[in-house]
Chains A and B, each alone.
Chain A
């Protein structure tokens, strides 16, 4: 069970869009539509942003959206804001277990 692969960092100016990829295998991302995304600010606990690939929990802004194609899931942040600067982790069900992504640092320029 290896960590899902994410880019180390992405960046964008306020108002722009950024997309984070999360690549796994047919045993995790590709095998189930149980992908979630977490936002983590420095020194804080992770926060659930997306579940079931593309659904948002109550209170999460609609500028956060998720999708999946094959073994790769993606998180898009549209209309980037300063408070979106954080680390983001994908997470997938992998058959009686969960596997997280390697994490991506989003920088707002």
Chain B
């Protein structure tokens, strides 16, 4: 079965760029799925960041769109997140997830374990 694993620096300086990668195993990133990033600040709720299809098509949360870039590397079977101009408010657990078509639309049915990113000098 498909498994996802997030990786990247756990500490990012304010005004810097947060960069994370999600490795996909047990399946191909080129399958008919969308691949998402979701974050959760400490003690708070979930926030959808954006998604990418293997073709490179993307959709982003309007509130983060100006700072977010999601890309895919089919040769490495992984996808990545870049969030620029970070502040302490971007401190969160970051999850990657697979968006699979179930029923009439796509739903996040497989999730990584999450990785904690702290923004601090």
Interface residues of A, Cβ cutoff 8 Å to B? 1, 3, 32-34, 36, 38, 40, 45-48, 51-52, 55, 57, 89, 91, 93, 96-103
Interface residues of B, Cβ cutoff 8 Å to A? 36, 38, 45-48, 59-63, 95, 102-105, 107-109, 111-114
Q: Give Cα distance in the complex from A46 to B108, angstroms.
A: 9
Closest to A100 in B: B46
Q: Are A57 and B109 in contact (CB under 8 A)?
A: yes
Known: A36-B107, A46-B95, A55-B102. A100 touches B47 (CB 8 A): yes
Q: Are A51 and B103 in contact (CB under 8 A)?
A: yes
Q: Give Cα distance in the complex from A47 to B38, angstroms.
A: 13
Known: A45-B111, A46-B95, A97-B59. A34 touches B46 (CB 8 A): no
Could you pull out 8 A-B pairs where Cβ atoms are within 8 angstroms? Answer: A45-B113, A45-B114, A51-B103, A52-B104, A99-B48, A100-B38, A101-B45, A102-B45
Contacts A32-B105, A46-B111, A55-B102 known; 18 new A-B pairs at CB < 8 A: A3-B45, A36-B108, A38-B46, A38-B108, A45-B111, A46-B108, A51-B103, A51-B107, A52-B105, A55-B103, A89-B45, A93-B105, A96-B59, A97-B59, A98-B36, A98-B48, A100-B38, A100-B45
Q: Are A51 and B46 in contact (CB under 8 A)?
A: no
Q: Give Cα distance in the complex from A36 to B95, angstroms.
A: 17
Closest to A99 in B: B48
Q: Are B112 and A45 in contact (CB under 8 A)?
A: yes
Residues on B with C-beta less than 8 A from A3 are: 45, 47
Q: Are A33 and B108 in contact (CB under 8 A)?
A: no
Known: A45-B111, A100-B46, A100-B48. A1 touches B103 (CB 8 A): no
Residues on B with C-beta less than 8 A from A38 are: 46, 108
Residues on A with C-beta less than 8 A from B107 are: 36, 48, 51
Q: Give Cα distance in the complex from A98 to B108, angstroms.
A: 10
Q: Are B46 and A46 in contact (CB under 8 A)?
A: yes
Residues on A with C-beta less than 8 A from B38 are: 46, 100
